[in-house]
Chains A and B, each alone.
Chain A
Amino acid sequence: AIQMTQSPSTLSASVGDRVTITCRASQGIRNDLGWYQQKPGKAPKVLIYAASNLQSGVPSRFSGSRSGTDFTLTISSLQPEDFATYYCLQDFDYPLTFGGGTKVEIK
């Protein structure tokens, strides 16, 4: 199975900060990666698909990029509603695999 190594596991930030989360795939996965946001007690919500495409309705402060097997989720200016846990998901090959998650906490 493709391993997705996500970092950091926890991130402390303030409102207005620029935040970057990274996922590294254990092999090439083209652009077949999505980013999901999960708030406590809720289902995950898709933010980005195909590495850099913003899902409809998601604020433009969220963006995604790829360099080789490294993928990055950037929040350009953190808002109060963005404090949550973020997961990457590779859908290049089965089994689909998630990264371990990054919890974005209030500093």
Chain B
Amino acid sequence: QVQLQESGPGLVKPSETLSLTCTVSGGSISNYYWSWIRQPPEKGLEWIGYVYYTGSTKYNPSLESRATMSLDTSSNQFSLKVSSVTAADTAVYFCARRFTTNPKYCFDYWGQGILVTVSS
């Protein structure tokens, strides 16, 4: 059974960089797209972007080029960095696997989520 687990600081100061890691267990990181999705308190879901197992990436323009994703196949981990954070970046951050075998496209495995608060 595939499991994902987010880790990283729960508190980040304004203007600094948020850094999170997602560790994948029970399966390989290869051949899948790996995404980050966030949810501000009491609000809806926002897709941040993906990193493919080859290292290629795509981001949501709403983050205005502040997001960077990478992965480490040797440790079965992928990561997210968001620079110049503000209070608006306070959210629960989820990592998720996207299954992409036509016609089935969906986020089939998710981490439990990690709350990141931006505050001084």
Beyond A44-B107, A53-B104, whether A1 also contacts B61 by CB under 8 A is yes
Beyond A43-B94, A43-B111, A95-B61, whether A31 also contacts B103 by CB under 8 A is yes
Q: Would you list 10 pairs from A and B whose C-beta atoms are within 8 A, ordered by A residue?
A: A43-B111, A46-B107, A46-B108, A50-B103, A53-B104, A87-B45, A89-B45, A91-B106, A95-B60, A100-B44
Q: Please, how many residues of chain A have a CB less than 8 angstroms from a CB on the other chain?
A: 26
Chain A interface main SS type: loop
Chain B interface main SS type: strand
Q: Please, how many residues of chain B have a CB less than 8 angstroms from a CB on the other chain?
A: 24
With a CB–CB cut-off of 8 A, which chain B residues contact A94? 58, 60
Chain B minimum-CB-distance residue to A99 = B44
CB atoms of A43 and B112 under 8 A apart:
yes
A90 to chain B, nearest CB (A): 10
Partner of A98, one of B46, B58, B103, B110: B46
CB atoms of A98 and B106 under 8 A apart:
no
Chain B residues with a Cβ under 8 A of chain A: 35, 44-47, 49, 58-62, 94, 96, 98, 103-108, 110-113
B71 to chain A, nearest CB (A): 18
Chain A minimum-CB-distance residue to B100 = A91
Partner of B44, one of A45, A55, A96, A98: A98
Beyond A1-B61, A43-B112, A43-B113, whether A34 also contacts B44 by CB under 8 A is no
Task: Give the distance in Å from the alpha carbon of A91 to the alpha carbon of B45 in the complex.
Answer: 14
